[in-house]
Amino acid sequence: NPASMVQALFHLGEMVTATQSVSDDLLELLGGEMGYEIEIVSPDEEDRELLDTFDLAYGENDGGEDDLQIRPPVVTVMGHVDHGKTRLLDAIRHTNIMDKEAGGITQHIGAYQVATELGGNERLITFIDTPGHEAFTAMRARGSKSTDIVVLVVAADDGVMPQTVEAINHAKAADVPIVVAINKIDKEGANADKIRQQLTEYGLVAEEYGGDTMFVEVSARQRINIDGLLAAVLLTADAALDLRANPNMPAQGVAIEAHLDRGRGSVATVLVQRGTLRVGDSIVAGNAYGRVRAMLGDHGENVYEALPSRPVQVLGLTSVPGAGDSFLAVEEDRVARQIAERRQARARKAQVANRRRITLEDLGTALAENKIENLTLIIKGDNSGTVEALEDSLMKIVVGDEVNLRVVHRGVGGITQDDINLAATTSAIVVGFNVKPVRGVQELADREGVDIRYYTVIYQAIDEIEAALKGLLKPEF
Ligand code: GDP
């Protein structure tokens, strides 16, 4: 159906900013067909140059073949709301042997590791502890790849739903293999075969059907077959991926989440992706820097050395990095500070530039000066009727021949971080009709320079956007 096509394409468009692993030709082809312009953005050249001046590089100095050692897979759990993502993450955490040994005092730091047995070997798996695709898209919007495998949760009594499809698109766009967890098999009316059937339509064909996707039937609530799911994750990692990293180098990785703690200052959970992170290391994470004063694991234990794929809470940064920011350990405090300061200066400049490019006030001028050719919108409303009505009316606005109005995403509900990430990657303005942003959204929009517009009257929305397109909207002060 066209809506999901648009969405699929959209996630493809998003992908090119983050990875280079899919053919650009295909994207342009798809884009052209759907009337989209697809911009292929290279990795942040400027940042590369900055690191280069300090003789540093991110993700490139992996060392020789001999240095590479097997690392645990990093997994994100995605799926439709209420299909059991949170419950499953909980069940996985508590059925695990490491937990029993450590006494079971768990700390939620944004990610955790579990140990499981496969073929007589104890193997680790890292789970990102934020269910849903918000964390996933946030990281990808910043160009980090943090996930090796997606566990797609589908409730056996419900079936494939919109966010299931969205999750599949996200995973495909990022070229990440999927393991399907058919959840709630304890429920009456559970029909696992129906799920297998439905998912073939989305290219996920179960091994039993001759495909290469592993499907595992579980109950998160009754903790049935959680071990089977963990085994499937490891088998998929071993079959499809060659997960190795060099532990013998200064650490690099990605910040998963971070906040300011009244007593402890900046607290950041980072995922080490290569190298070994040690207490005392000087690190720079996005625009933040500092020396690692202490590290805590997901049982609240002190950690002195963190190897690849290990998530740890880091204390000692002077400010709070953003989720998805990459980090790296450097030789000297001075270097970390200088890199962070230059990034801060650049971010301030970029924010100003962003704002100028995207706000509704500046639209008329930007159009007149040919800086942009289209107005791109994301529409969120309190019900599907009003969203459609608003979209229809907006599409009828005519301003000359050249200006096109494109709606890249529409939906019912509050404005989410996902919407903002999408808006940031496509330079869209977000229109909210009778809705409010969810927590943290305004901050993200400010940071990304995304303009959000709220309306409660359809005509007001149309008038204002029409005026903006004609360059008649006066800046608000
Ligand atoms: P999320 O929105 O995907 O994170 O879903 P939750 O983990 O919050 O689960 C939604 C609801 O489904 C909760 O009431 C859970 O108790 C219930 N639930 C989750 N897993 C199972 C399961 O395996 N069996 C049954 N019967 N209920 C489940």
- Which atom belonging to ligand 1 lies closest to the Cα atom of 81? 2
What's residue 132's pLDDT? 67
Ligand 1 atom 25, closest CA: 184
What's residue 194's pLDDT? 95
Q: What are the residue ranges of helices labelled H in 161-296?
A: 162-173, 192-200, 226-240
Nearest-angstrom CA–CA distance, 269 and 323: 9
How many CB atoms neighbour CB 19 within 10 A? 16
Tokens 């400027």 -> residue: 46
Instruction: Say what the pTM is.
Output: 0.69
Nearest-angstrom CA–CA distance, 149 and 135: 14
ipTM, 2 decimals?
0.99
376 annotated ligand-binding residue:
no
What's residue 74's pLDDT? 95
Residue 263 pLDDT exceeds 60? yes
What's residue 316's pLDDT? 93
What's residue 186's pLDDT? 95
Q: Is the CB of 130 under 6 A from ligand 1?
A: no
Q: Is the CB of 186 under 6 A from ligand 1?
A: yes
Using H for helix, E for strand and C for coil, what is the string for 366-377? HHHCCCCCEEEE
The set of residues, in sequence order, having a beta carbon less than 8 Å from that of 112 and lying 6+ positions away, is 93, 106, 126, 127, 129, 298, 311
∠ Cα 454 459 463 (to 5°): 85
DSSP state for residue 71 in the 8-state scheme: -
What's residue 276's pLDDT? 95
- Provide φ and ψ at 410, rounded to 5°: -140, 155
184 annotated ligand-binding residue:
yes
What's residue 17's pLDDT? 32
What's residue 32's pLDDT? 56
Q: Is the CB of 225 under 6 A from ligand 1?
A: no
Q: pLDDT band for 347, please (50, 70, 90 cuts).
A: confident
Do 299 and 106 meet the contact criterion of CB atoms below 8 Å apart? Answer: yes
What's the gap in Å between 115 CA and the centre of ligand 1? Answer: 24
421 annotated ligand-binding residue:
no
Q: Which amino acid is at 90?
A: D
Instruction: Quote helix, strand, coil % in the chain, to nearest 5.
Output: 40, 25, 35
Q: Is the CB of 77 under 6 A from ligand 1?
A: no
Per cent of the chain over pLDDT 90 is: 34
Per cent of the chain over pLDDT 70 is: 77
Nearest-angstrom CA–CA distance, 82 and 132: 11
Q: pLDDT band for 19, please (50, 70, 90 cuts).
A: very low
Q: Which amino acid is at 208?
A: E
Average the pLDDT over 261-266 and give the result: 86
Ligand 1 atom 6, closest CA: 84
What's the gap in Å between 322 CA and the centre of ligand 1? Answer: 30
Q: Is the CB of 221 under 6 A from ligand 1?
A: yes
Q: pLDDT band for 410, please (50, 70, 90 cuts).
A: confident
Average the pLDDT over 46-70 and give the result: 75
Q: pLDDT band for 5, please (50, 70, 90 cuts).
A: very low
Nearest-angstrom CA–CA distance, 409 and 79: 19
Residue 434 pLDDT exceeds 50? yes
Structure tokens at 391: 């979209």
| Best mean pLDDT range from 275-284, 414-423, 451-460 | 275-284
359 annotated ligand-binding residue:
no
Least reliable range by pLDDT among 105-119, 235-249, 328-342: 105-119
Nearest-angstrom CA–CA distance, 245 and 250: 12
Residue 103 pLDDT exceeds 50? yes
From 87, 161, 188, the mutation candidate for ligand 1 (largest count of ligand atoms within 8 A of CB) is 87
Q: pLDDT band for 54, please (50, 70, 90 cuts).
A: confident
The set of residues, in sequence order, having a beta carbon less than 8 Å from that of 219 and lying 6+ positions away, is 183, 184, 185, 186, 225
Q: Which amino acid is at 386?
A: T
Ligand 1 atom 22, closest CA: 184
Angle between helices 134-141 and 2-18 (to 10 degrees): 50
Average the pLDDT over 209-238 and give the result: 94
pLDDT digits (tens, 9 = 90+) for 295-329: 999 988 999 999 999 999 999 998 888 878 889 99
DSSP state for residue 297 in the 8-state scheme: -
Nearest-angstrom CA–CA distance, 366 and 362: 6
What's the chain's average pLDDT?
81
Q: Is the CB of 134 under 6 A from ligand 1?
A: no
Q: pLDDT band for 350, please (50, 70, 90 cuts).
A: low
DSSP state for residue 437 in the 8-state scheme: B
Residue 45 pLDDT exceeds 60? yes
| Best mean pLDDT range from 30-44, 191-205, 314-328, 440-454 | 191-205
Nearest-angstrom CA–CA distance, 415 and 366: 25
What's residue 21's pLDDT? 34
